[in-house]
Chains A and B, each alone.
Chain A
Amino acid sequence: MLSMIAFVVLALTVLVAAIKCVSSRNVIHGTYWLLLCAVGTAGMTWFLGAEYLAITQLLIYAGAVGILTMFTVMVTHRSHNTASREVKLSWSVLLLALGFFGLVAYGVILTPQLAHFTTVAEPIPFAEFGLALFDVNGQAFAFEVAALVLLVALIAAVWWTKDNDDDKDQEGDHAG
C-alpha cells in the first residue's frame, strides 16, 4: 500500500515543475525547472519501489542531461535578450495536448483489468539485477547494444559540434 499523500505531493511537484519548465519565459529558468522535474521523476521511481532505477535516473537525468542542457543554453543563448522571450498561450495546441490526455486517460480508465493492480512488488536486489544484466542468456545482448548506441551517439555528438572547415566549403557550394 502506497501512501496517497506522498504520491500527491510528488506528482504535484513534478507536474508544476514541468508546467513551469514549458512556460517560463527565460530558457535558463526553464532548465532549473527541468532539473526539479527530473529529481521529482527519480523520486517517483523511488516511491514506486525501483530504488536502483531511481538512483540511475538521478544520475543520468538530473546529473548528466541537466548539465548538458545548461551548457547548451550557455553556448547558444549568450545574451539575455535571446534567452528570454514572449510566451503566449496557444489555445489550439492546448486543445491538442488536452485531447491527447483525455484520450489516453479515457483508454486507461476504460481498461478494467488495470484497476486490479494495486500493490507493488518488492525491489529486485542489486546483485540479482546486475547479474541478470550481464547474463548471456538474459539481457547481455541488449546491454551491449545499448553501449554501442551510446558510443555512436557520443561520436555523432562530437562530430556535429566539432568546428570543421569543411562545413564552410559546403555552405559556399550550396549558395553557388
Chain B
Amino acid sequence: MLVNFDSVGLVTVLLFAAALFSVGLYGAMTRKAAVSVLMSLEIMLFAISINIVALAQFIPGAQMYGWHFSLFLMVIGAAEIAIGLSLVVAIYRRIKTSDVEKLQVLKDHE
C-alpha cells in the first residue's frame, strides 16, 4: 500500500502539498483583484515550503540543506510579496484600480 493510513509518510505530505498548490493555482488564475492574486501566490508558496520541509525531514541526510533552503525560500517569498504588494499600490496610484482584468497594456492597440 502506497499511502499508509497508520502513520504519516512522505507520500501523504507531498499529496497534501500538491493539493494546496492546486488551490493556490486556481486562485491565481481566477481572482480579479490583484491583491487576491498575490494571496493565491502566497498559498502556492506555503505549499512549496511544506514540500521542502517534508523532503528535508523525511529523507536521511537532506535535513541541513533542506532547512537552509527552506529559510532561503522564505526570504525570497517575503521579497516577492513585498515587491508584489508595492506594485499593486503603484498600479492603483496610476490607474485607480487594482483589477488585473483592467490591466490590458499587452493588448494590441493602434
Chain A interface residues (CB < 8 Å from chain B): 1-4, 7, 11, 14-15, 18-19, 21-23, 27, 30-31, 34, 37-38, 41, 44-45, 48-50, 52-53, 56-57, 60-61, 64-65, 68-69, 71-73, 75-77, 85, 90, 93-94, 96-98, 100-101, 104-105, 108-109, 112, 114-115, 117-121, 124, 129, 132-133, 139, 142, 146, 149-150, 152-154, 156-158, 160-161, 163, 167, 171
Chain B interface residue count, Cβ-Cβ cutoff 8 angstroms:
75
Residues of A within 8 A of B36 (CB): 22, 27, 30
Residues of B within 8 A of A61 (CB): 42, 46, 74, 77
Residues of A within 8 A of B10 (CB): 114-115, 117-118
The 9 closest A-B pairs by CB, nearest first: A22-B27, A153-B79, A157-B86, A101-B22, A97-B26, A117-B58, A117-B10, A160-B86, A104-B18
B46-104: which have CB < 8 Å to A?
46, 49-50, 53-54, 56-60, 63-64, 67-68, 70-72, 74-83, 85-90, 92-94, 98
Residues of B within 8 A of A53 (CB): 53, 67, 70-71
